[in-house]
Every structure is written in structure tokens, then in C-alpha cells.
Amino acid sequence: MRKHLGALALAASVAVLVAACSSGDDAAPADETTPDETTVGEAAESAGGGIPEPTDEQADALVDELAAAVPALADDPDATVDAARNVCSSILGGTDDDALVQGATLRFDDGSGSVTEDDAAQLVEVVRGSEWCA
């Protein structure tokens, strides 16, 4: 009996919420605008759909530059480029320098702890200075 009363109470609550959400005017207020395709596309890009990606030539040069600071990064170029893209995304997102270095330390490390904060600071500057990260 208690199960039935609980289920009824839940169903009543859902019905009230649905009615409350669906009531009212569906038209946008006069002072709000409806987003157009450009606005939606820009929003999607800023939400992560538009992380810059280097061309193949840029990726090769990037791995070379990053490996100059941390030679082990040349061992897995795809992972190195992925880490650089993530750092680029953080740069473009306005992340402060300390957080960028902390993030780069984790992103570029292969699990051995071989990427120091000094290394990471150099890696961030390489990514920041890259033409493709804009």
C-alpha cells in the first residue's frame, strides 16, 4: 500500500512539474533574440567543437619543437599533438599561466613524472607561439 501511495505522490509531482513547465507563452520576449545559424555555430565551436588542429606539416614541426624541450615526446607524436591541442584549447579559453603549466605537466607526461614544471612552461610557450593555435 505504501508503494502505491509513494508512486501516486511521485506521479502527481511529475504532473505538476510538467504543467508548470508547459504553461505560459512559448514566444520569446520582445527583448530577446532567437539565435541564428551563425550564433549556433559559434556556440558549438566555443563549446569544444572547434579546437584548433595543426596541418600535417605543422604537426611535424610542433613535435620537433616540443621534443627539443622533452625528447621523450617524439616517441608518440599523435599523443604529443593531442596534448598540444588540449593546451591550445586552454590557452584560447583564457586559462591563467599557472593553471596552463599545471595542465601541461599532466597532459604531456607519459605517467613517469618526467615532465617537470619548467619543461611544461616551455611546452606551453611553444604551443602559444604556434601559428595553428589562434
pTM, two decimals, is 0.64
Give the pLDDT band (50/70/90) at residue 96: very high
| Closest of 83, 107, 103 to residue 95, by C-alpha | 103
pLDDT average, residue stretch 87-104? 95
- Whether the predicted pLDDT of 13 surpasses 80: no
**pLDDT attached to residue 46:** 52
Give the pLDDT band (50/70/90) at residue 18: very low
Distance (Å, whole) CA 19 – CA 113: 55
- Domain boundaries, given as residue ranges, for the chain: 56-128
Please give the single-letter amino acid code of residue 94: G
The cell for 41 is 555555430
Distance (Å, whole) CA 55 – CA 63: 12
Give the pLDDT band (50/70/90) at residue 49: low
Of 50-54, 81-85, 118-122, the range with the lowest mean pLDDT is 50-54
